[in-house]
Amino acid sequence: ATDIRFQDTESNLRILEQCPSLSTFKQTAWLRNANLAFLALLAWDAAGDRYRRLVRRESLPTLDGGVIALDWWEDGPDAARWDKVLLVGSTFTGDALATAAREVCQHFSARGWRCVVMVKRGCGRTMPNAQPRSAATPWCIGGHADFEQAVDHIARVCPGSPICGVGLSTGGGQLRSYLNILGERSKLAAGVVVDAPHSSGALLSMDRRLPFVAKALAIAGHDALQRCGLGPAPAVGDAPPASAPTPEILPGGLVSFVRDELAPRHGYKQTDADALRYLRRCQPADSATCRRPTLELLTLDDQLISLEEAEQLREYWRKSPFVVTAATAQGTHVVRWEGLRPRCWISRVAAEFLEASLSGAAGGEAR
């Protein structure tokens, strides 16, 4: 059963009455092993290229010379005329063709939503968002400025259409920050955050618990930086060319990638301490300032987020009457499949929650 927690408000009760799928999750029987489910996710990611014809990429220039990619999902002749818009925040370095994002777009598109996936600078496995010049700032784990620019642009090109968000993993952290920083000024009417870490400590935890996965993600992050056209990390201040490894930081893992490659390109020294400072800066904003209906989905068997982190996420409902948390015992990172032939439960629940939130906003109840 799903553990659903929320503050007892009229708006929350009305929204959750329209979310019958939220309490019915049962993971596909032959994918109940979290390791197997995560491997299946990675295998199906490799099949993304067959869906490329359904995606129209728009390049959105940034003030510092970078480019945000907006992948518009257009799987039917009427897609551009649908009146509800869904912005999907992509995974760590993913694009619209990664399995998790693709399943969300397919489900929402079938329900009459116009879907667009934000792809971070240099990211995208199947459709890389290569950057035009090396002077631009590379992608950032926090990414608030780029995320806000993407929302503002979508609001301009879809005037009068309600816009909601679904954020996956890193994209979930960016969505959470946007909703919490903007508060009442948010141009998103509601959001669903899926498996976004509570804090930067999740990377340290992953280095310790899952060193091979952490190293694989570090390689993906390095490849994204290469697509930003960047050379070696610059020396900042009086930092040494490389800091000596410490027992707490896995060589070749995520935190060492942040220390040696990502943080220095955002103005930090190439030291363990500055790597952690950068990660703290990227930590999603606190949910206490959230003013839009927000569903935080998490699983207690997440391969990438520790159980301790998941327990902290499960308490977000206490911070804001607009936040609902829903924790499942089964599934794994951005994976909740049900039925003999796996179907995405995340997409179904997200659609119910966002459509219920919009129906309340139309009646003036969700503000």
Contact 116, 87 (CB under 8 A): yes
Q: What is the pTM of this model?
A: 0.93
Per-residue pLDDT, 137: 85
Q: Cβ-count burial of 199 within 10 angstroms (0-12 exposed, 13-18 middle, 19+ buried)?
A: middle
pLDDT per position as a tens digit, 251-260: 999 999 999 9
Per-residue confidence (pLDDT) for residue 134, from 0 to 100: 55
Mean pLDDT over the full length of the chain: 90
pLDDT band at 168 (very low <50, low <70, confident <90, very high): very high
pLDDT band with cut points at 50, 70 and 90 for residue 233:
low
Give a three-class secondary structure readout of the chain.
CCEEECCCCHHHHHHHHCCHHHHCCCCCHHHCCHHHHHHHHHHHHCCHHHHHHHEEEEEEECCCCCEEEEEEECCCCCHHHCCEEEEEECCCCCCCCCHHHHHHHHHHHHCCEEEEEEECCCCCCCCCCCCCCCCCCCCCCCCHHHHHHHHHHHHHHCCCCCEEEEEECHHHHHHHHHHHHHHHHCCCCCEEEECCCCCCHHHHHHHHHCHHHHHHHHHHHHHHHHCCCCCCCCCCCCCCCCCCCCCCCCCCCHHHHHHHHHHHHHCCCCCHHHHHHHHHHHCCCCHHHCCCCEEEEEECCCCCCCHHHHHHHCCHHHCCCCEEEEEECCCECCECEECCCCEEHHHHHHHHHHHHHHHHHHCCCCC
Q: Is the pLDDT of residue 142 over 50?
A: yes
Per-residue pLDDT at 9 exceeds 90:
yes
180-216: pLDDT as tens digits: 999 999 999 999 999 999 887 788 888 888 899 999 9
pLDDT confidence tier of residue 57, bands split at 50, 70 and 90: very high
Q: What is the dihedral of CA 198, 200, 203, 204, to 10 degrees?
A: -110
Reported confidence tier of residue 269, pLDDT bands at 50, 70, 90: very high
- pLDDT level of residue 46 (50, 70, 90 thresholds): confident
Residue 349 clears pLDDT 60, i.e. is over it: yes
Work out the average pLDDT over 309-332. 96
Q: What are the tens digits of pLDDT across the range 171-180?
A: 999 999 999 9
At 243, the pLDDT band (50, 70, 90 cuts) reads very low
pLDDT of residue 242: 47
pLDDT digits (tens, 9 = 90+) for 300-317: 999 899 999 999 999 999
